[in-house]
Amino acid sequence: MYCLSVGKAIFAKKKTMRFLRFITILLLALSSNAVFSAEPNYKFLWGVDANTVFDNREGDQTYAPQQTIFFSRLSPTVGVQIMGEHKLVAGTHYIQPIGIGYKDNKFIPTAYYSFKHTAVKDSSNYRKWTVCFGMIPRRLMSRRLPAILWSDSMDYYNPNIRGILLQCEKKNAFHELTLDWRSLQSAEQREAFNVNYNFERLIHNTFFFGGNAQLNHLAKRNPAPEGEGVNDDMFLYPFAGFNFASRTPFDQLYLKAGYAVSFDRCRAIGDWEVDGGVLAEFGLLWKKIGIKETLYAGDRQFPLYPMYGSLLNMGDPHYQSNFYSLTSIYSPIVWNEYISFGATLDFHATKEGMSCYQRVVLKMNLGNVDN
């Protein structure tokens, strides 16, 4: 049985590598035609995105286990840009845990179409539209989702949006919609997807307001075991705040607060459960030292987390407490267009206990595929 499972794993990896090899050859052929053609409407694209993360987690284990996460992720891509607005891109994410050789490494294919259009009336009046379909790198999002919706652990091993990314950017505002189809229904796995909408608007370079909204769905398997129910999770977080960076000597200084409310239901059990609380954030950065404080107080979030875990709720599990403080002290040691390297101390405090995470993260992004 062990040999059979290993053989299946090797066969699946070979199929993945053959697919990626085919896509790479196809795109290289198209781009080579673009290079040697007199037609100026084609452009060869390439990129290499590399991450190395060391995340050591110690302390209270009420909501999250003690563990050390240490891995490297290499994401090469190639593509073709057509008429300046259309892109076809393919590649892979290679995730390699450090310290165990080639055991448990992972290939995640990237393949997406992108359309980008900018309408300019004058320097203060423009709109930039971006539409992407396929397996889309999350680094293309305008903003990272808040931790109550998307935890660091999910970010480490789920580098793609599996579906659709829509963006609209104006001078002082942005709107973003994503559809992430996490799992297709079968006899072995449940259908799972989530839709996220995020927006933010800045007024007079100081005051801003915005919000996050999510529809999250976890269906049954087909055929489903007896007693398995459909699960729904909805979330709203309107917020407002002030950005004082332009009026002070600090590189970053902001304060924002809002009310986070979730609606959860397991249809096999009963009615909706509504949970809400105040969610506030403060950030300050001066030269190479920064501090960020996130505070939540209210009802316990993720009532279905003990049953389904991150299969349904992908946010930081500490939000299951009715009081949660996250204090992050960090240093962006190197930060430029191509490379970032920084260290962070995260102090997680709930009514049940306290833990400390020590993180070192190196990121590098080369090429023109993201431009």
Instruction: Work out how many domains the chain is built from and give that number.
Output: 1
- Report the C-alpha gap between 135 and 212 in whole angstroms: 22
Query: What span, in angstroms and rounded, lies between the C-alpha atoms of 363 and 72?
Result: 10
Q: How far apart are CA 333 and CA 330, in angstroms?
A: 9
Tokens 């789920």 belong to 158
pLDDT at 104: 83
With a CB cutoff of 8 Å and minimum separation 6, the contacts of 140 are 130, 132, 165, 370
Q: Which of 147, 165, 163 is nearest to 155 (CA)?
A: 147
The domain that holds 132 is classified in CATH as: 2.40.160
| CA 147 – CA 196 distance, rounded (Å) | 13
Q: What is the pTM of this model?
A: 0.87
Residue 110 β-bridge partners:
91
Would you give per-residue pLDDT tens digits along the chain (371 residues)? 434 343 444 444 555 556 556 655 655 555 555 444 545 688 999 999 999 999 999 999 999 999 999 999 999 999 999 998 999 999 999 999 998 888 789 999 999 999 999 888 776 778 899 999 999 999 999 999 999 999 999 999 999 999 999 999 998 999 999 999 999 999 999 999 999 999 999 999 899 999 999 999 999 999 988 888 899 999 999 999 999 998 899 999 999 999 999 999 998 888 899 999 999 999 999 999 999 999 999 999 999 999 999 999 999 999 999 999 999 999 999 999 999 999 999 999 999 999 999 999 999 999 999 98
Range of the domain at 268: 2-367
